[in-house]
Amino acid sequence: MRFNKLLPIILIFFIGTGISAQTWVVPDDQKAVVAPFKFTPDRQKQGEQLYLKNCQSCHGIPTKDNWAKLTPPPGDLAKDKAQKQTDGELFYRITTGKVPMPEFRNILPEDDRWWVIAYLRSFNPGYIQPNPVGKAAFTGRIVTLIMDYSTPMHKIVVTANEQIKDDKTRLAAGIEVMLFVRRYFGKMQVEDIKTTNANGQALFEFPADLPGNADGYVEVSAMVNDPKSLMKTTPATGNFAIGVPANKPGLTETRAWWSTRGKAPVWVLLAYSLTVLTVWGFILYIVFSMSRIRKLGKKSAL
């Protein structure tokens, strides 16, 4: 009866272990994808800034083995496990993400993601970049977003500018815009998708209780909603004092699934300990039973 009560806990433990051990499979066609440009020192320098801002908090400084103690471990991207992957594999993983890593297609433009890879390759002296495959000439709309905060309206104002002939721009009406605020594991969308008006503007309200950093600042980003990739777009980002000041602890400072082993949830530690004790108890019971059977067999032989 006691074993029956422990069975759900054991199942949860082994199912959870199986899930965390799943392989992150990259489609074969994505492995062969190559960058559209050469990894020049300038692009590697741009990639370094993007890495320090978006990746260092989890993966640490390359070559230093000082990644965050998360589960599964992020690892050092300068080491063989990452460097033996193709550029396409790295790009696919950065783009699609996998919990707890966010999807960076919602955070960084395509070129920025390649710049990060360019920076990572600078730590691999044996790396030889495949010949870049240039993109076909773009014939769609080219839209750039600009974002600001309107104090009188207490709203985020996103303005869309469309490039026309001779590098001139005009305000773009009818552009669908999404607004996000940065959270621990990616970006949280604020309000529904808005469409720019005749003045090329989309106005967004935000929650009054939105938590910010210790000074109330929130990192906000705006992106064009273009699921069919018919436009070439440039997102907008900004930091505004629109949140409630909050001094939240870091990811590894509290008890949570993604925290360090020493700060794992108490119930997880108990479940794991009970599972180990149960398994070893069962093994010892089998050994003890086999020993008794052997002794009974010797007695019956006499």
Give residue 202's domain range.
Answer: 141-240
- The CA angle 235-107-134, to the nearest 5 degrees, is 75
Residue owning tokens 């970049």: 129
Bigger pLDDT: 272 or 106? 272
Residues 5 and 67 in one domain: no
pLDDT tens readout for residues 13-32? 433 444 344 578 899 999 99
Full-model pTM = 0.52
Residues 158 and 229 in one domain: yes
Domain count across the chain: 3
Listed range (37-51, 203-217, 252-266) with the worst mean pLDDT: 252-266
Which CA distances in Å does 302 have to 181, 297, 299? 81, 9, 5
pLDDT tens readout for residues 176-234? 999 999 887 678 889 999 999 999 999 999 888 989 988 999 999 999 998 777 888 89
Contacts of the segment 107-111: beta carbons below 8 A, 24+ positions apart: 107/54, 107/186, 107/187, 107/221, 108/50, 108/54, 109/234, 109/235, 111/36, 111/37
In a domain, 258, yes or no: no
Look at residue 69 in the predicted model and tell me its pLDDT.
84
In a domain, 59, yes or no: yes
Q: Which residues contact 118 (CB under 8 A, 6 or more apart)?
A: 35, 39, 40, 43, 44, 46, 47
Residues 80 and 43 in one domain: yes
Residues 43 and 92 in one domain: yes
In a domain, 257, yes or no: no
Q: Is the dihedral of CA 227, 228, 233, 234 positive or negative?
A: positive
Contact 267, 176 (CB under 8 A): no
Residues 102 and 147 in one domain: no
